[in-house]
């Protein structure tokens, strides 16, 4: 786009896409290719040319933007390593996009088994397991978060989490038991594990670079398990609030909150929408029995993805919070659900979220509220 002041959200988004397209064209973007479909020409920002050498040793890992109503439009350029003062000064002098640009560090996301201890593995409400509690397949020493209860057209109830939590990265078999707390959180003095449901469905989860895997836009890190006893679970998010029934589209600057297995109840904001596909690296071992296992190691790309940050130097989510339901802070006493946590890092206060509406649409299910709730 011309280097003039963007006038609306779409022009800010296209400016961010232009930066990513430019980074790809000179090989300083490290996370996949093909941000624009054939024929969709995005002008590269010529003012970056003089400082291109900066990104050779500090490649760009993502580009995002914010065009919410509560602050001025802003583009975020995430690099593998922090830029020093001299580099930032050079960029400030030469780059002119007509919109504020901010540089931050963001390493490629990796989902693995390095999960810290839980703040409160299982939250109980009147003896029932709430959303936000620890879950895992019954034969893997891992743990993630039960995000919400869903209902299908036939009235059956399901638990929602990430594919990499309960779906084995699309390698779990139907009927695999899902337990709470997750096996990682089982031990003397902790709640006994019990089966809360059985795996039923994983959404599309195709690995591969977006230049060759054209279906990356329908990738969803989400899976559901059918509840084995609806009377032992609650739709409450911990003991904080009930799951809302309404769903909203994410928007930058939204104030948000979630309840997760590792960090419990946290509050924060949607910082930016990442433009183009973003890569997440997965490494899991899925067990089908004592003598049968499936190692899974692959890169999966998603679009759109939102980057979230917690308030008060506290991370919004970390490992183990995957699957948590992200909700807006109440306005006029009403919350709305906006997304699903798929990964978080504490040291740099980064959380990645997929929008919830496409997940529910693909599942053909709806959120359940008021089920043995607060």
- Domain membership of residue 349 as a residue range: 241-365
Q: Please state the domain count of the chain.
A: 2
Q: Is the pLDDT of residue 155 over 90?
A: yes
For 236: left if phi > 0, alpha if psi spans -120 to 50, otherwise beta; the answer is beta
Query: Rounded distance, CA 33 to CA 278, Å?
Result: 10
Q: b vs e for 308-329, b when ≥16 Cβ sit within 10 Å of the residue's Cβ?
A: bbbeeeebbbbbbbbbbbbbbe
Query: Rounded distance, CA 304 to CA 64, Å?
Result: 11
Q: Is residue 155 part of a domain?
A: no
Pair 140, 288: CB distance under 8 Å? no
Examine the fold and report which residue of 107, 136, 157 is the final residue of a domain before the chain moves on: 107
Listed residue (355, 373, 371) closest to 151, CA to CA = 371
**Which of the two residues, 253 and 59, has the higher pLDDT score?**
59
Pair 278, 336: CB distance under 8 Å? no
Q: Pick from 62-76, 100-114, 265-279 the range whose average pLDDT is largest.
A: 265-279
Pair 74, 65: CB distance under 8 Å? yes
Q: Is residue 216 part of a domain?
A: no
Q: Is residue 85 part of a domain?
A: yes
Query: Rounded distance, CA 244 to CA 240, Å?
Result: 12
Query: Rounded distance, CA 96 to CA 62, Å?
Result: 19
Q: HSE (CB half, 13 Å, CA atoms) of 245?
A: 6
Residue 43's pLDDT is 59
Percent of the chain with pLDDT over 70: 94
Mean pLDDT of 120-149: 95
Q: Is residue 149 part of a domain?
A: no
Q: Is residue 347 part of a domain?
A: yes
Examine the fold and report which residue of 58, 85, 107 is the final residue of a domain before the chain moves on: 107
Name which of 136-140, 166-170, 312-316 the model is least confident about.
Answer: 312-316
Mean pLDDT of 127-156: 97
Pair 302, 287: CB distance under 8 Å? no
Query: Rounded distance, CA 172 to CA 203, Å?
Result: 12
Q: HSE (CB half, 13 Å, CA atoms) of 27?
A: 0
Residue 39's pLDDT is 44
* Mean confidence (pLDDT) of the chain: 90
Residue 214's pLDDT is 77
User: Strand order of the sheet with strand 109-111?
Assistant: 109-111, 278-289, 292-302
Look up the pTM and report it. Answer: 0.93
CATH of the domain at 323: 2.40.10.10
Q: Is residue 127 part of a domain?
A: no
Mean pLDDT of 206-235: 93
Write out pLDDT tens, residues 308-359: 999 988 999 999 999 999 999 987 889 999 999 999 988 778 999 999 999 9
Q: Is residue 92 part of a domain?
A: yes
Write out pLDDT tens, residues 60-86: 999 999 987 677 899 999 999 999 999
Examine the fold and report which residue of 69, 92, 107 is the final residue of a domain before the chain moves on: 107
Residue 68's pLDDT is 75
Write out pLDDT tens, residues 201-214: 999 999 998 888 87
Percent of the chain with pLDDT over 90: 68
Write out pLDDT tens, residues 23-59: 888 889 988 765 554 444 455 567 777 788 999 999 9
Query: Rounded distance, CA 300 to CA 221, Å?
Result: 9
Mean pLDDT of 125-150: 96
Residue 1's pLDDT is 34
**Which of the two residues, 101 and 135, has the higher pLDDT score?**
135
Query: Rounded distance, CA 101 to CA 342, Å?
Result: 26
Q: Is residue 229 part of a domain?
A: no
Residue 106's pLDDT is 86
Residue 171's pLDDT is 96
């Amino acid at each position: 786009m011309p280097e003039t002041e963007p006038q609306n959200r779409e022009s800010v988004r296209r400016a961010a896409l232009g930066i990513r397209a430019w980074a790809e064209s000179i090989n300083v973007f490290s996370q996949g290719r093909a941000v624009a479909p054939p024929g969709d020409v995005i002008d590269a920002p010529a003012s970056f040319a003089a400082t291109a050498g900066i990104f050779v040793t500090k490649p760009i890992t993502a580009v995002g933007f914010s065009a919410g109503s509560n602050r001025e439009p802003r583009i975020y350029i995430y690099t593998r390593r922090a830029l020093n003062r001299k580099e930032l000064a050079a960029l400030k002098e030469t780059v002119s996009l007509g919109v504020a640009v901010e540089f931050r560090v963001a390493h490629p996301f990796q989902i693995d088994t390095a999960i810290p201890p839980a703040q409160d593995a299982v939250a109980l409400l009147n003896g029932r397991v709430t959303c936000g509690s620890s879950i895992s397949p019954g034969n893997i020493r891992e743990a993630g978060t039960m995000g919400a209860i869903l209902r299908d057209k036939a009235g059956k109830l399901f638990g929602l989490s990430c594919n990499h939590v309960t779906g084995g990265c699309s390698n779990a078999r139907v009927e695999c038991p899902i337990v709470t707390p997750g096996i990682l959180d089982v031990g003397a003095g902790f709640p006994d594990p019990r089966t809360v449901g059985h795996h039923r469905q994983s959404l599309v989860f195709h690995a591969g670079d977006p230049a060759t895997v054209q279906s990356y836009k329908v990738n969803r890190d989400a899976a559901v398990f059918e509840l084995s006893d609806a009377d032992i679970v609650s739709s409450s998010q911990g003991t904080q609030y009930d799951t809302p029934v309404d769903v909203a589209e994410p928007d930058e600057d939204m104030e948000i909150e979630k309840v997760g297995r590792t960090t419990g109840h946290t509050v924060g904001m949607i910082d930016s929408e990442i433009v183009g596909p973003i890569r997440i690296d997965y490494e899991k071992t899925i067990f089908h029995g004592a003598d049968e296992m499936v190692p899974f190691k692959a890169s999966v790309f998603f679009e759109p993805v939102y980057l979230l940050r917690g308030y008060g130097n506290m991370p919004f989510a970390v490992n183990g919070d995957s699957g948590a339901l992200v909700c807006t802070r109440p306005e006029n006493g009403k919350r709305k659900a906006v997304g699903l946590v798929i990964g978080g890092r504490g040291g740099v206060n980064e959380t990645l979220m997929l929008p919830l509406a496409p997940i529910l649409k693909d599942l053909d299910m709806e959120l359940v509220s008021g089920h043995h709730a607060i």
